[in-house]
């Protein structure tokens, strides 16, 4: 969901307004995804790099947005009526306690649902996720609980932050950047990538449909 700050700069408004507009856009996109019956939506909200590169005032403003957004999700009637399970993945221990309380509330209130899964990547990095998975494998191998010949791609996949989520079919990146920026590096090995110049707060239903139509026209080869 890239381009909140650039959206704000283009309009000569504060970056915190850009982030708020981005939050409201996510609510719209979730509605569109539910209407289309797409069972899994995963969004990249905050990277591990952001935790060190953003200034403290911006981070605190973002943390407040995450709290309010997660609390809104917890109470959203459509989330409950549609059976949306909410998951937050990443190194969440690096986030403030108020954010973790909101995470726990959203996850607890939707844990029994299975129709849709909405996953938010917070304090997330694809390389870090793989490192954490490998650490678990190394520890189990060192203790004698995991034989060397059992270590394969499936073993790594099931140790990722949320192994129940299938690998993405389509990755959409907004705001003109054509790179994956440490997002789901293991999982997107065979995903289709779609890049658009539109800043995230300006992302429209037509933009979403264009991305899906482009995906549908591609022939997926899975490395063949």
| 3-class state of residue 15 by DSSP | helix
Query: Is 207 one of the annotated active-site residues of the chain?
Result: no
The C-alpha angle 74, 76, 79, rounded to 5 degrees, equals 85
The CA distance from 215 to 180, in Å, is 17
Q: Output phi, psi for 24, to 5 deg.
A: -65, -35
CB 174 within 8 A of CB 203: yes
pLDDT score at 116 = 97
Domains and CATH numbers, the chain: 4-54+118-211 (3.40.1180.10)
Largest separation between any pair of C-alpha atoms in the chain = 59
The CA distance from 70 to 45, in Å, is 12
Query: Is 115 one of the annotated active-site residues of the chain?
Result: no
Give start and end residues of each alpha helix (H) in the chain. 4-11, 15-36, 48-53, 56-75, 77-82, 97-110, 126-142, 153-157, 205-217
Task: Count CA within 13 A, CB hemisphere, residue 200.
Answer: 25
Of these residues, 50, 71, 100, 182, which one is catalytic?
Answer: 50
pLDDT score at 129 = 97
Walk along the chain (224 residues) and give the pLDDT tens digit of each residue: 888 788 788 888 888 888 889 899 999 999 999 999 999 999 999 999 999 888 899 899 999 999 999 999 999 999 999 999 999 999 999 999 999 999 999 999 999 999 999 999 999 999 999 999 999 999 999 999 999 999 999 999 999 998 888 999 999 999 999 999 999 999 999 999 999 999 999 999 999 999 999 999 998 877 76
């Amino acid at each position: 969901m890239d381009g909140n700050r650039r959206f704000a700069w283009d309009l000569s408004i504060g970056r915190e307004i850009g982030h708020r507009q981005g939050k409201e856009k996510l609510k719209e996109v979730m509605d569109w995804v539910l209407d289309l019956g797409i069972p899994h939506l995963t969004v990249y909200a905050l990277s591990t790099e952001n935790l060190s590169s953003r200034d403290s005032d911006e981070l605190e403003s973002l943390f407040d947005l995450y709290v309010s957004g997660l609390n809104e999700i917890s109470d959203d009637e459509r989330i409950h009526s549609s059976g949306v399970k909410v998951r937050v993945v990443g190194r969440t221990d690096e986030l403030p306690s108020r954010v973790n309380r909101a995470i726990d509330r959203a996850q607890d209130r939707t844990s029994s649902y299975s129709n849709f899964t909405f996953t938010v990547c917070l304090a997330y990095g694809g390389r870090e996720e793989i490192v954490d998975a490998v650490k678990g494998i190394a520890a189990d191998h060192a203790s004698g609980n995991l034989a060397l010949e059992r270590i394969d791609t499936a073993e790594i996949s099931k140790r990722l932050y949320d192994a129940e989520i299938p690998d993405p079919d389509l990755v959409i990146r907004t705001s003109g950047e054509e790179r994956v920026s440490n997002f789901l590096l293991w999982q997107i090995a065979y995903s289709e990538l779609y890049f658009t110049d539109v800043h995230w707060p300006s992302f429209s239903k037509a933009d979403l449909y264009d991305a899906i139509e482009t995906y549908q026209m591609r022939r997926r080869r899975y490395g063949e």
